[in-house]
Every structure is written in C-alpha cells, then in structure tokens.
Structure 1
C-alpha cells in the first residue's frame, strides 16, 4: 500500500499538485467569465426561475426534468468534498485554502455553464432510446477529435472509481466505524447491495432517488452546521479574518498546525474546490445532458447553481464549523493511518521555533534538513525508548504515542523503520495528533449545541452525501462506457463498479484520496482544452438564445 501511495503522489505532482494546474483551472473560468459577460451573475435569477418550472414545459426530448438533472449532478458533487474535502484543504493549507475554494466556485459557475451548454447541444440518443451526452460527444461531433473524446471517456470510467465510488464508501465506512462501531466490511457490503439496486434502474431511477435525497440531506446538514457556528459565534469574525488575512501570506504555525505557505494554500484550495464542485471536470454535463429542454443554454443556466450550492454555501459552512470550533489547530487522540505516519531523526518540539521552521519547509517542499529515520526502534510496554526519533503523524508532532498489537495489548520488542516508514503492519499506533478529512469535520461538529452527538450529524451526512455521489457517478461511468463500447458494455461496468465500492470500504483512507486527486485531473485537462477550442461555438449559442428570448422572458412557455 505504501508503494502504491508513493506512485499516486508522484503522479499527482505532475497533475493536480503541479504549479500550472490551479492557474489553468482558474484561468479558463476567468476567460469565459469575461468572454461571455459574467453569465454567473447575469443569468443567476433566470436559472432559479427555470429550476422552479417557469418559462419551461416538460414536453421536450429528454429523460429528466431540470430539477432532477440538477439534483443528480448535485448528488455527484455534494459528497465527501463538502465534508472531508474541506477538512483536508484546511488541514493542508490553513484557512486561506477556503478562500481559494470560493474563487474556484465563482469562476467555476461559468465553467459549468459552458460545459453543460455544449454537452446538451451535442447530446445523442443511444441504441436503447436513452439520452447520452457529455464532453466526449462535443469533442467527437463538433471538434472532430475522437481521440480526445476517447481519452476523456477512459478517464471518466477511471474517475468513476477514483472519485465516485471508492472515496465515498471509504469515508462512509470510516464514519460509521467511528460513530457506531460498525465494521467497515459490513457497511460496504450492505450499501453495495443498495447501490446495485438503484443503478440497475438507469437514469430514471437514479434521478428519482437523488431528487428525494438531495434536498433533505442539504437542509439537514445546513441546520447542523449552523448549530455549531452559532454556538461558537464569537469566533465567526476571527475565522473570516483568518480566511481573508492569510490569502497572500500563508498561515503561520499555531497550536499543532505547523503552518502553510501561500503556494500550498492556493494549490490545495483550488484542488479541493475542483474535487468538491467538479467545475471544469466534465462530469456534471453528463447528467445535465438528459434534461428535457430544446434550449441548451437553459440547462447551462441551471448548472450555474451547482457550484453556488455546493461550494459557496455548503463548503463555506463546513469551513466555518472547523475554524470557529478551533479543532483545526488542536491535537486529538486517534489511531494513526500508516500513510500519515513518518519517523524522522532527532527530537523535535513545537516550542523550538527553528525546528518548527524546518518542519514547515519540509512539509512545504522547500529546502530543509529533516531526515527520515532508518533502523530499529525499541518499544517497551507500548512506549518508544529509542532516543532522537520523532513521530510525525498527519503533519504534526505526535504526542502520547502508544504501540499496540491487534488485540490492543501494549507492544514490546523491536520495530524496523525504512525511510521513516514502519514496516510491521500488524502494529497499531495510537496517540495525539492533528486530524484531517472527515474525522476533523466530525470533531468540529462535537463543539456545538449537540456536544458529543454532533459527530452523528456528520456520520449521517456523509452516509447520504457520499452514497448519492456514488449513485450519480455510476451513471457518468456507464455513459462513458456507452460511448466507448456501446450500451451492451454497461452491465459489466456496473458489476465492477459495485465490487470496487465494496472493496474500498476497508482500504487505507489516504490512498483513496490520492487516487481521486489523480483521476480528477485526467478528466479535467482534456475537457478544458475542448472548452477553449469551442469558445466561439458557445458564445454564438448564447447570443442566439438571448436574441430569440427578447424581449426578456416573463411567463412565456418554451
């Protein structure tokens, strides 16, 4: 697992974590925002009206209503990114990472508008009579670039596992085990059966289920988040101040948090913003292509609401819960994941400013003198006796560390370390360290009016959010398979999808997140290229719609 994790991290350095990626993603969104005249502002009110059923009928070709298409796409984006992803972004980049998530969402509203409009315009009907759409179709039909369409479709199938299936059940299983002591394998097995039942019914059953789940889960999560923020109301303004104040400077070390520079906060914020709202990734257009309308621009307008709801509302609430509660700077007792642990040479302390700076540089990829420990360490009754060794877990100096065996008894003996990594996977390590992802968000929810019961809001939220995401991504994957191999291939994809969903319920968390980080970018890069190449097409489509809708729509039906 450690080797696989290192390979994924290596790939990520050339993709989502590369210096160019955030600029590329934001640059495309900024370009279209200016090129099309700020459609996320101009068309926002009309988007709401269309969603509410004004100016539209349901007699046009398609498989779903505007509302069902939006909730299906939202269920694909509102998931672990809103709960665990925000916790991961703040853990990695500090409060400023949330600001860059906001920027990704604002500009992403335009990107979503563009990709959905094109996807709906160039959709087709498959051999079974269902709508099939998405970037692979406008790449093929308009750009005449089937090679690019194939790259995108293959990346979509892979991403269905790396974004939609595996990280979702992994977070569900982790939350259920933490809150209710449910075995991850049982959680994965039960939900895999439910998932299979839903996706066998195709887009109409998927849309029916998501249109009922999404409004309920969003409302419940908002109420829970507000309960925590209101409990810590005195920290709201300081939290907002830290988000804005650290944007161009980075966040200094505070508490157990060892600090994060501007570049890291910027990169992680944009990266996590994409994982949350998927603007530019090309996934949501697949769902929106099924909507019943003869006006592609109208569906593009509806898509504007996605990043607004997903990131500007839900991710902001999660971020304020974490920041106002103060848990992001505190250490908490937890069982360490092997991928989060590394042993380094020397005794490091947070009270030593020079040592903290060294760790800061090491974690940020700058020049440093930190060295991994190689050799044996002695453990007696769970306590490490070997001097001049420091355990770093979850980017923090671990404290009160205890080594145990599988039956929870204290370990005694020698353990081998290679390049700072523990080689014996049978040893359990428990101690105090920073938390990240869903665990951090769950801890924050305990700091509100519901006290120790707040984590159950997160557990139920992640169950609904993540499960609905897995449902939607199964549809994205089967549309990609339809493009690549025809409708008959979908059944084989669904079998593998459900199997992967089950297996990921008991696989190391960080490996799943790192896999997702890689597969997201494998879709995004081809999609952004196609959008830029089709810039004139989308502008002409928008202008034609505006001219045909003059004077401004009032109560006229399409």
Structure 2
C-alpha cells in the first residue's frame, strides 16, 4: 500500500508542476493583460464608477427577489466566502519566504490584471446563465462552455473537476485547518471540533443557496473587519518599519543583481513566479469558481455584475493579502530559517501584539476556513446539478456527503488530500480559460458598448 501511495504522490507532484508551472501562470496573466488592453483598462480608468455601482449600491432599497435568487452583494459575499481563506494567511507567508518581499509586488500585478479576468468570467456567467424551474438562475463556466462555445464535453469536465476540488480544497483541508486552529487556541480535541463544524455546515448548507448567501452576507464583512482591525493594530506598532517594508518590496521586485552567486535575475524570477502563483491561488481569478454563484444574482446587467468580480479580487488581494504581507515583512521574521506559512504569520502578529497575536491568527483561520467551506458547497452543488439535471437525489447525496466530509477532514492527516486538491483546483482553470478566451469577443463588445453608452 505504501509504494502505491508514494507513486500517487509522485505522479501528483509532476502534474502539479505542470498545472501551476510557468506556462499556466503566463496563460492566466496573459488573458488578463489581453482583456485589459482590449477594453482600455476599465479597472483603472473607471474604478470610481465601478465602486459607485458596487459598494455604492449597498445602502439602496432592495427589490423583491424570486426564490433561489440572491442580491449582487450576497453573490460577491458568497464568492468571497469561498475565496478568502487560509491562502490569505498561509499563502502570503509562503510567497514571501520563497520569493522574497518582491513577490508582493508581483502579487499586486497579478491582481490588477486578474480583476479583468474575474470580471469577464462573471459577465459571461450572467450572460449565458439558464433559468431554473423555480424561476431562479444557474450558470458558470460549465454553462457558458456548453451554451456559448457548444463544448459540452469540456463543460462536463469542468463540472467534474469542480466537484472533486470542492470536496478536497473547499472542504476537507479547510476543516483540518479549523481543527488545528481550535487545538492551538483552546486545546479542543479534533473529534469535538469536527462535530461542531459539521453541525454548523449542515445547518447552513442544507438551507440552500439562499441561507448560505444570507450567512455569507453577514459573516464575510464581519470577519474582514476583524482581520483588518488586527492588521491595523499590528501595523501601527510596526509603523517605523513600514517605509523599509515597502522599500524591500520594490527592490525585491526589480533588483536584477545576482542572488547568492547565482545567475543574474534569479531572485526576481522567483519573486515573479511566487507572486503570481500565490496571487492567483488567493483570489482565484481564472479558476472559474466564483462565477458559479454570481450567475444566481438578481441582476439584468452582466457588465455591472462583472464589476463585483473586480471588487472581489481588489479586496481579497490588494487589501487583505497586502496587509498580511506588510505585517510579515515589517516584523523582520521572514528571513529566519525554518519559519514559513502559518507559523511565520502567527509569529509576526505575536511579535507585535503579544500572546493575543497568536490567538488572532487562529481565530482568523477558523473564520476564513469555515466561510470557504460554505462558498465551495455552492460551487460543488451547482456542478452536480449540471451533471445530473434530472436526478435530484444526486444533489441531495452530495450535500449529505459534503457535510460528512467536514468531520472526516477535521480528524484526518490530509497532506496528500491537500496536494491532490491543489492540482484539481488548477486543472479547473484549463477548460474555464478556454471558455474565457473563446468568448472574449462577447465580453469585450459588451464592455465597450457599456462605457460608450456612458460617454
């Protein structure tokens, strides 16, 4: 059995290097760059207008919506619930230790162009969505691949990969992170944490997308404010080190001198690689997950719903990840050998806030991981419904299995599950990006028409 497991792990590692290798990162970034140029960079030129028609609409009176429909803000909250996760805490630390502070700059670049990729995904999801029997909508990459490009086999492949990824990286690995954080914070046994987490997920998930959206609408702003407040407190203490932190970020991004006697530019190459890969891993621009929930939004304007996709990337990476990165770099601990991931982030906050810092990070992990479980449950369920439209029991079975795996994830060692799920998550991007490229003309035309009409 052991040789088989080792063989699976080695095969997965080889596939993962291809999936998340330079070619995929170039493909992901290239699409964002192409879309930005073809639409005259709306994420920069019209950012004020975008904020006005997203964040600026939160205090307007809501119109009545049909069963199964959710508001645009609930859609972005649910998408952010699936996007903002352990990657905002662990992924940023990994990027800095592997690529240096310069990786943060390239994470910003990745997010800037990723805003257009996510915008296009969401626009296409709303443009090609299907109306369900109850009058609500369903959509996402599997639908715009099938109905927009007529690539039904590719649509089915995306749906299968999304279901598998939802069970792993969207569920079990997140439950395991909750279990470890609860153990560090309260000394709670894994079995107890698993039961509590399973009960919470069951209550929220079995109420349908409406209940998930309602919970996400409340929990996402709350956890974001909690995390930002902790970051601001730590950065206030590190205030004198902040100018140096920014200097390290920009120097690391562009310093072409030889690193440690190696080839000139090696350090910059690593900064670019890890900055882009962790940026994409954090905000999921191009992976095709978030458009699934945006397709259910109560809107008749695909372009304006696409704006929420831009805001999603902006908030996740340019706000949340940046604050984490500044705390880590300002602490000076990132240069210490043997410190990486969650350990490094916790140490950076502990140095600033004392013992409270470690508790802050653990609570953040619990909130972020739990919200990710909620968000990915929607993605997986919608894909099951797409694959088995005439078999409601399959969706019911998926929900029951999803809840049960929360407990399994909390009590198991999951390194291999995490690695395989990471690969599946990346494989989802391939059919989705084919759809984005194939239908880019539709998105470009709709975007130009929208802004031409404004002018």
Q: TM-score normalised to the size of structure 1?
A: 0.75
1:58 corresponds in structure 2 to 63
Aligned to 1:304, the other structure's residue is in SS state: helix
Q: CA deviation at 1:21?
A: 1.4
- Quote the Cα distance in structure 2 between the aligned partners of 1:92 and 1:507: 28
- Quote the Cα distance in structure 2 between the aligned partners of 1:44 and 1:298: 12
- Quote the Cα distance in structure 1 between the aligned partners of 2:299 and 2:281: 28
Q: Which consecutive unaligned segments of at least 5 residues does structure 1 have?
A: 254-259, 332-433, 552-558
2:102–2:250: 8 Å Cα contact kept in structure 1? yes
1:60–1:294: 8 Å Cα contact kept in structure 2? no
Does 2:348 match 1:444?
A: yes
After the TM superposition, which residues 263-282 of structure 1 pair with which residues of structure 2 at under 5 Å, given as runs? 263-282=269-288
Q: CA deviation at 1:163?
A: 2.6
Q: CA deviation at 1:80?
A: 0.8
Q: CA deviation at 1:129?
A: 4.3
Aligned to 2:150, the other structure's residue is in SS state: coil
2:39 corresponds in structure 1 to 36
After the TM superposition, which residues 524-535 of structure 1 pair with which residues of structure 2 at under 5 Å, given as runs? 524-535=429-440
Aligned to 2:298, the other structure's residue is in SS state: coil
Does 2:417 match 1:504?
A: no
Aligned to 1:261, the other structure's residue is in SS state: helix
1:521 corresponds in structure 2 to 426
Q: Whose strand proportion is higher, 1 or 2?
A: 1
Q: Which deviations, in whole Å up to 9, do the C-alpha atoms of 1:293-341 show, x marking residues without a partner?
A: 111111001211011100000000011111111222225xxxxxxxxxx
Q: Which deviations, in whole Å up to 9, do the C-alpha atoms of 1:175-228 show, x marking residues without a partner?
A: 222232222232122101211111111111001001000111111101101211
Q: Whose helix proportion is higher, 1 or 2?
A: 2
1:275–1:520: 8 Å Cα contact kept in structure 2? no
Question: Which among 40, 49, 74 is matched to residue 68 of structure 1?
Answer: 74
1:64–1:207: 8 Å Cα contact kept in structure 2? yes
- Quote the Cα distance in structure 2 between the aligned partners of 1:510 and 1:235: 36
1:50–1:66: 8 Å Cα contact kept in structure 2? no
Higher relative contact order (CA 8 A, sep 6+): 2
The count of residues paired between Structure 1 and Structure 2 equals 441
After the TM superposition, which residues 335-350 of structure 1 pair with which residues of structure 2 at under 5 Å, given as runs? none
- Quote the Cα distance in structure 2 between the aligned partners of 1:15 and 1:194: 34
After the TM superposition, which residues 474-553 of structure 1 pair with which residues of structure 2 at under 5 Å, given as runs? 474-486=377-389, 487-508=392-413, 510-547=415-452, 549-550=453-454
2:215 corresponds in structure 1 to 209
- Quote the Cα distance in structure 2 between the aligned partners of 1:284 and 1:460: 24
Distance 1:167 1:261, change over 3 A: farther
Q: CA deviation at 1:50?
A: 2.3
- Quote the Cα distance in structure 2 between the aligned partners of 1:264 and 1:510: 24
Q: CA deviation at 1:535?
A: 1.4
2:252–2:267: 8 Å Cα contact kept in structure 1? no
Question: Which among 92, 96, 99 is matched to residue 93 of structure 1?
Answer: 99
1:303 corresponds in structure 2 to 309
- Quote the Cα distance in structure 2 between the aligned partners of 1:271 and 1:298: 28
2:252–2:271: 8 Å Cα contact kept in structure 1? no
Aligned to 1:247, the other structure's residue is in SS state: helix
1:455 corresponds in structure 2 to 358
1:199–1:474: 8 Å Cα contact kept in structure 2? yes
Larger Rg: 1
Q: CA deviation at 1:481?
A: 0.7
- Quote the Cα distance in structure 2 between the aligned partners of 1:467 and 1:171: 9
- Quote the Cα distance in structure 1 between the aligned partners of 2:139 and 2:129: 4
Bigger mean CA deviation after superposition, 113-122 or 231-240: 231-240
Backbone CA RMSD of aligned residues:
2.3
- Quote the Cα distance in structure 2 between the aligned partners of 1:233 and 1:137: 49
Q: CA deviation at 1:3?
A: 5.1
Q: CA deviation at 1:173?
A: 1.6
After the TM superposition, which residues 349-364 of structure 1 pair with which residues of structure 2 at under 5 Å, given as runs? none
Q: CA deviation at 1:447?
A: 1.1
Q: Which deviations, in whole Å up to 9, do the C-alpha atoms of 1:11-43 show, x marking residues without a partner?
A: 211211x22111111111100000111121234
After the TM superposition, which residues 276-291 of structure 1 pair with which residues of structure 2 at under 5 Å, given as runs? 276-291=282-297
Question: Which among 144, 148, 152 is matched to residue 158 of structure 2?
Answer: 152
- Quote the Cα distance in structure 2 between the aligned partners of 1:165 and 1:97: 28
- Quote the Cα distance in structure 2 between the aligned partners of 1:37 and 1:22: 22
